[in-house]
Amino acid sequence: MTDVSAGRRLTVAIAGATGVVGTAVREILAEREYPVGELRLLASERSAGRRLPFGGHDVAVDVLAADSFADVDLAFFAAGGAASKRFAPAAAAAGALVIDKSSAFRSDPEVPLVVPEVNPDALAAHKGIVATPNCSTIQMVVALKPLYDAAGIERVVVSTYQAVSGSGKKGPDELRRQAPRVLAGKPAEAAAYPYQIAFNLLPHIDDFLPGGFTKEEQKMVDETQKIFADPDLKVAPTCVRVPVFNSHSEAVNVQTRRRLSLAEARALLAAAPGVELIDDPTKLSYPMPIDASGLDPVFVGRLREDPTIENGLHFWCVSDNLRKGAALNAVQIAEELLRRELV
């Protein structure tokens, strides 16, 4: 990122530095050569003293506390909602610009909810905290953005196929533990999930709400409307946990406000920032989670018209939920803030 790395170097903190997302933030900051002058790694007391590599040397992990943010320019929060609610306001009050991965501030009208390929102008309204959306929302809105800009969107029906890494370390650990037990004819012994995840699907992510939707599904509704600044945009989600280690997949049905031909939609998606179109049924070419893992784009394929509704399109999209769905989106926000001289 040579275009934004020139000039002063920043003091950057990562809260939740030893977790899955915090680790990915640290790695992506190094990969993309973000101009970090000093890096502060913050976590719980049990992680204090660990040393993690960055920029050719090891950095010690300190305990996350309210006074951890003196002279910090930019603070990434990847420690969960409770820690964000407790410490992010203190970080912002100390002068740090907070980029928060949790759900703590996403619904706050004073806090921008940002996906840089979709609504970067929202960053100008920040008041010390910027929220990054849920992983399933991020990849969907990146794919929807070119269609929305060209034709508007009336309604989205989405079914997600979400990898166990979306549950943190406990998800992959459980799948690795259960799979050989099930293959050996032994009980799966569920712990991280309410039921066996190996060779199974769970149509249930997060708590159920009174109307029958889950919190994960309601996030997709609320966040998509906020990101597009369109409260009339209808979103009907079903979120499913699947026995895949990494990368979320989504089947998306879109009803646009004016008709887009298949050729128009294909051209729009092929040219969209952050999107890679992989769509050739004659060669069995379509995105799969095994191919998206470790990569940055939102991969789109299986693009086709829906003849059952007016202005209907179907597509399939896949993205690494730990990269674009979490850490990468946060780092891209940091890059955009620097580019706009907002940090």
Catalytic residue positions? 135, 248
Token pair for 169: 């370390």
Among 63, 97, 93, which residue's Cα sits nearest to residue 79? 63
Give the CA distances from residue 270 to residues 122, 155, 267, 274, 294, in Å, rounded to whole numbers and listed in that order: 25, 22, 5, 10, 21
DSSP-derived secondary structure for 17-83: TTSHHHHHHHHHHHHTT--EEEEEEEE-GGGTT-EEEETTEEEEEEE--TTTTTT-SEEEE-S-HHH
Pair of tokens at residue 106: 């996403």
Q: Helix crossing, 215-227 with 135-151: angle to 10°?
A: 40
Question: Closest Cα partner for 130 from 147, 110, 150, 149?
Answer: 110
Per DSSP, the residues of 193-257 read SSS--TT--BS--SPBPTTS-BHHHHHHHHHHHHHTT-TT-EEEEEEEE-S-SS-EEEEEEEEES
Q: Report how far residue 86's alpha carbon sits from residue 103's, in angstroms, rounded to the nearest whole number.
A: 13
The Cα–Cα gap between 178 and 231 comes to: 42
**Residue labelled with tokens 């990915």:** 24
For 82, phi then psi, to 5°, come to -65, -45
Helix axes 262-271, 135-151, angle to 10 degrees: 120
Residue with tokens 């909810």: 113
Measured between alpha carbons, how far apart are the two ends of the chain, in Å?
16
Report phi then psi at 251, rounded to 5. Answer: -100, 120
